[in-house]
Amino acid sequence: MFGCIVAGRLVQTDLDQVGEHQFVFKIPEPQLANHIVVFLLGTIPFNPGYAATVHFRWPASEWKFLGIVSNEKPSAIFKVKNLAESAPEVETGLIAEVGISIEPENTVQIANEQHRSQLVLSKTTGTEREASASQKMLQSLFDYCMSFSTNLGSLSSNQPFAGLSISPQTQVIPSKVFQDWYKSYLSKLSKGLV
């Protein structure tokens, strides 16, 4: 009834039935997989009112919802490379599993809508996290640079600066300060301190 393709590999149709309506494909060397396609073979459609949820599981991990297949959507491509982060220990010789569960269509649709909502929420959280990191980085730059600022008036008399008339209260920062901060920040990034 189902087929599975790991991108760059041959088609798999050798699934195991592990429950009345549950099936599992074994995926060797899953750490090398980027995308997985799950599809109906076309020989046996779902009974009316039924569809299937598709899940992925690393050894000794929880099942991760990927999406759905149905008579109306008989195939789906899923990115699994990003799921490697949730694997306990990525090593050679592993066998992951793609699980398929046939369920009533309304149950499948609800699961899919919840999954999509979580994806939107996690993308929003990621954006907020990036904005926070950017704010911290800019605050670090500002604080560091301002600690080296001096009044232009303390450096010279009220002579025009490069032909411009500038107030003696104008703050100046040597350009080397930016270079030093940048090197320091890259060093912290490489050590995972930021």
Parse the chain into domains and list their residue ranges. Answer: 2-121, 148-190
- Render the chain in DSSP notation, one character per residue: -EEEEETTS-EE--PEE-SSSEEEEEEESGGG-SEEEEEE-SSSPPPTTEEEEEEEE-TTS--EEEEEE-SSS-EEEEE-GGGGGGSS---TT-EEEEEEEEEEHHHHHHHHHHHHHHHHHHHHHHHHHHHHHHHHHHHHHHHHHHTT-EEGGGTS-S--BTTB---TT-EE--HHHHHHHHHHHHHHHHTT--
pLDDT exceeds cutoff 70 at 10: yes
Q: What is the pLDDT of residue 148?
A: 80
Domain 2-121 belongs to what topology?
Jelly Rolls (2.60.120)
As a whole number of angstroms, the distance between CA 120 and CA 185 comes to 31
Q: How confident is the model at residue 94 (pLDDT cuts 50, 70, 90)?
A: confident
Q: What percent of the chain has pLDDT over 70?
A: 78
Higher pLDDT, 81 or 169: 81
pLDDT exceeds cutoff 70 at 58: yes
pLDDT (mean) for 35-55: 93
Q: What is the pLDDT of residues 117-166, one digit of tens each?
A: 765 555 555 566 677 777 788 888 878 787 888 776 665 555 555 666 66
Q: Write out the two tokens for 122.
A: 């996690």
pLDDT exceeds cutoff 60 at 187: yes
Q: What is the pLDDT of residue 175?
A: 82
Q: What is the pLDDT of residue 23?
A: 95
Count CB neighbours of 161 within 10 A: 13
Q: Write out the two tokens for 95.
A: 């066998």
pTM of the model: 0.58
Higher pLDDT, 38 or 141: 38
pLDDT (mean) for 182-192: 78
Q: Write out the two tokens for 177.
A: 């300060």
Q: What is the pLDDT of residue 162?
A: 60
Q: What are phi and psi of 31, to 5 degrees?
A: -65, -15
